[in-house]
Amino acid sequence: MKISLSLSGGAARGAFHLGVLQAIDELGFVVEQIAGSSIGALIGVSYASGVSPKKQLEIFKSKEFKKVFKTSFRGGIFHIDEQSEILEQLSPYKTLEELPIKTSVTVIDLSSAEVLYLGHGEIKKLCAASCSLLPLFASCRYENQFLADGGIMDNLPVFPLLKTQKPLIAVDLHPLQKDFKHTTFGFLKRGLFLMWRSGVRKNFEHIDLYISDEKLSSYSLFSFKKLDELFALGYERGVETLSQFKAKE
């Protein structure tokens, strides 16, 4: 079955994406087009480059990958080293146009306050920009634009996939929890989350299969020591939901 795929942002939780992608491969789905934000963009580009989910997991767990994050003295606490050799392992291609699977990277233009869904341009720079969550990471300058994490405004991008006429499968690393702390900070946190999530809710009407798991909420965005657990969770959830979806088609 041919599908289009949307991958959300979510930092270390991205290993869940890899588990779902492993299930996609094993169940015989063929991904025709990908759209991603933040870590979803990086994983999507790597998958489109032909790098297997398990190989990506090895790369993300490596000491070399941690060296991608450098201390920044301007615009953020860290910046992403676009010249890191480990990024070559995630994708040997230079530009998005070269990828065997059509892929778009979601970023925001800080000057125009617009969401950009880019299917062309330099892979390293655009993936770095899509992963640059303000204010933790400094924005990236690209072709006279200051670009940052697309997940700030559209964390589950579907717009680039609407013309594919293939079932649209979306993997979300930020499930909606019903429970939250009834404290001043808890209500504030809840309000901010719902405001941010409103950008995702508008995309639901276009999604044919939504994949997530409430257990994801128990993992912080920086759970880099639990990547194997997240991969296993994504694989388990992916096999379950994708098998049911395939049986209905």
The pLDDT value recorded for residue 236 is 98
221-248 pLDDT per residue, tens: 889 999 999 999 999 999 999 999 999 8
The residue type found at 41 is A
List CB contacts of 42: < 8 A, sequence separation 6 or more.
14, 36, 90, 127, 130, 131
The residue type found at 134 is L
Find residue 102's DSSP bridge partners: 33
DSSP H/E element including 103: strand 102-109
154-167 pLDDT per residue, tens: 999 999 999 998 99
The pLDDT value recorded for residue 24 is 99
The pLDDT value recorded for residue 193 is 66
Q: What is the CATH number of the domain that holds 140?
A: 3.40.1090.10
Indicate the Cα dihedral angle 89, 216, 234, 170, nearest 10°.
Answer: -90
pTM over 0.75: yes
CB burial of residue 221 (10 Å; 0-12, 13-18, 19+): middle
Q: Residue range 191-197: average pLDDT?
A: 69
Total domain count, the chain: 1
127-156 pLDDT per residue, tens: 999 999 888 888 898 998 999 999 999 999
Residues spanned by the domain of 53: 2-247
DSSP notation for 57-87? HHHHHSHHHHTTEEE-SSSSSEEE-TT-THH
